[in-house]
Amino acid sequence: MKNKRTKRIKVGFDVFDLERRKKYIKKPVRPVTVKPREGVSELLKRMGDTAFQGKNLSLAVDVWEEMLKRRCTVFFGLAGAMVPAGMRNILVHLIKNRYMDCLVSTGANLFHDVHETLGRFHWQGSHTVDDKELKDSGIDRMYDVYAIEEEFNSSDEYIYKFSMGLERRPYTTREFFYLLGQDLKKRAKTEGIITAAHDAGVHVYCPAIGDSSIGIAVALADGRDYPLFDVIGDVKETAHLAARATASGVVFLGGGTPKNFIQQAEVTANMMGKKAQGHKYAVQVTADSPHWGGLSGCTFEEAQSWGKIAKKSRRVSVACDTTIALPVIVTALTERMKGFKRKRPSMDLKNSYRVKKRIWEW
């Protein structure tokens, strides 16, 4: 029975508030139909009318597109073995087209990029294999991907010799990878992440560089005769970029150190007296869950409590294997960006090392 005055309806023992219902019942789920001649972008738009991770995949493209069409500095976090898994050319495409402005990566992905840029391969394999036999065969395994040990050693040798040729002074990881890209271009068999970033003016940071084969290669120096990494300089520079941005957005593949390093840029900027509002746009693709307490599965809502993500922000997390989601998202994004000339943000680092006041001195 319906009460017109109070806008309530009685159903059995329950009384439902119809006004409150309007808050939730707004848009119907629309089933996806197959249209063979349709592009990926159009398919994802229609998936936005569905549910679960299909809808989130669609929202991820929407949010990233808005980042690029607004005055926004895009920070990109790269974790997981994405280069060995075959995602390298997609990342190169994103860099060349400036769908990102600043890349923060694990050292492993950047090492694997050097490996492939020098003309070497990763190989399809199997996760159901005798790993002791692989060890005896000189094969390293990353789930179902293989690499040949002595070829890795050759990539180590290249990085070692490059590093030993540098002037003995502290380098931010941005400086290191810019110089590495410059040198790598002379030897490259194919274009890679580091060489593309060098040419496109995309800053590359690697805050945990010691936790990788790049760190291992530099550590092969005898004694203490090796270039040093100024990772505190990395912190200062990324905080400066976040603070001076008209708006900032983040795209995370996985989590780990790259995700936290990008998110803490907002916190650091505020502690330096450089006002930052939190990242205004946020996209995350992850297979991790928040209830374990780790950062890789941490929600953007949790990040809001720290001021890392803006109170008013467009954000979406896609619970999916990145090797599935990334090719689909980037293909759709590229279709939508066709013909659009993006106004690139300034990446100037002048005065990035200045700190006039610390938060406890206000």
CB 164 within 8 A of CB 226: yes
Neighbours of 95 (CB within 10 A): 26
User: Partners of 204 in the beta sheet?
Assistant: 103
Residue by residue, what is the 3-state secondary structure of 284-336? EEECCCHHHCCHHHCCHHHHHHHCCEEEEEEEEEEECCHHHHHHHHHHHHHHH
164-173 residues labelled b (16+ CB within 10 A) or e (exposed): bebeeeebbb
Question: Whose structure tokens read 């603070």?
Answer: 243
Q: Which of 22, 27, 308, 343 is catalytic?
A: 308
Q: Residue 270: helix, strand or coil by DSSP? A: helix
**Strand 14-17 relative to strand 228-229, pairing:** unpaired
Q: Which helix (H) or strand (E) holds 11?
A: strand 8-11
Asked if residue 277 lies in contact with residue 250, where contact means CB atoms within 8 angstroms, the answer is: no
Distance separating alpha carbons of residues 124 and 280, to the nearest angstrom: 39
308 is catalytic: yes
- CA–CA distance, 237 with 114 (Å, rounded to integer): 24
Could you give the residue numbers annotated as active site? 308
